[in-house]
Amino acid sequence: MENNREFIEKLKEGDAHAFKKLVETHKDRVYNTCLGFLHQCEDAEDVAQEVFIQVYDSIDTFRGESTLATWIYRIAVTKSLELIRYRKRKKRWSFFKSLMYGDDDMDELSGEKYFQLPDLALEEKERAKILFEKIDNLSENQRIAFVLHKMEELSYKEIASVMETSLSAVESLIYRAKKNLRNQLHNYYQD
């Protein structure tokens, strides 16, 4: 279905039925990907919707050089990172405001992140929470590669396609991501 030329043409023509089919096919993987970056269900759903709005708006630009799924993953990663950057800017601004005006708004941003990890036992939830915190400290590319590999179980080849980079680059990114995570966890458990 996915890369069927006819299906893509229908999408480009604005066929509502085709668009709905696309959304139903990809919504869970997009949501799961966003959750892997954002850790909050509301934000992940919001961004997932924005991903499909962008797909709706820019389907004409899809040239078929990659699969639809790859293209959608790429948008999901980009949108998730945009929100993360926005949160960081907001946090910096809130910190500045709190210095200047003694504003208490910092509380809503400096508090614990709201992790929602269904389907895990309590102990595993705690470990997953710690791991997500350490994943957030990785460089952007390492984070993308690791999240796509761990959360979406994409192959290295698929990740290379999403990130528009080489297979060897992805291998290197995941290797370094794991190494960095282990180092962070070592420091965490040693304390």
Task: Please identify, using beta-carbon distances, which residue of 7 and 19 lies nearer to other proteins.
Answer: 19
Scanning 27-35, 62-70, 85-93, 107-115 for contacts with other proteins by CB under 8 A, the matching segment is 27-35
Report the b/e string of 72-84 with b at 16+ CB within 10 A. bbbbbbebbbebb
Q: Are 23 and 72 in contact (CB under 8 A)?
A: no
Helix (H, G, I), strand (E, B) or coil at 10: helix
Q: Which helix (H) or strand (E) holds 141?
A: helix 140-150
**Binding residues among 136-155 for other proteins as defined by CB under 8 A:** 150-152
Q: How far apart are CA 157 and CA 116, in angstroms?
A: 29
Task: Choose, by CB under 8 A, the member of 14, 58, 91, 120 that binds other proteins.
Answer: 120
**Interaction of residue 35 with other proteins, rule CB under 8 A:** yes
Scanning 29-37, 74-82, 88-96, 99-107 for contacts with other proteins by CB under 8 A, the matching segment is 29-37
**Interaction of residue 13 with other proteins, rule CB under 8 A:** no
**Interaction of residue 54 with other proteins, rule CB under 8 A:** no
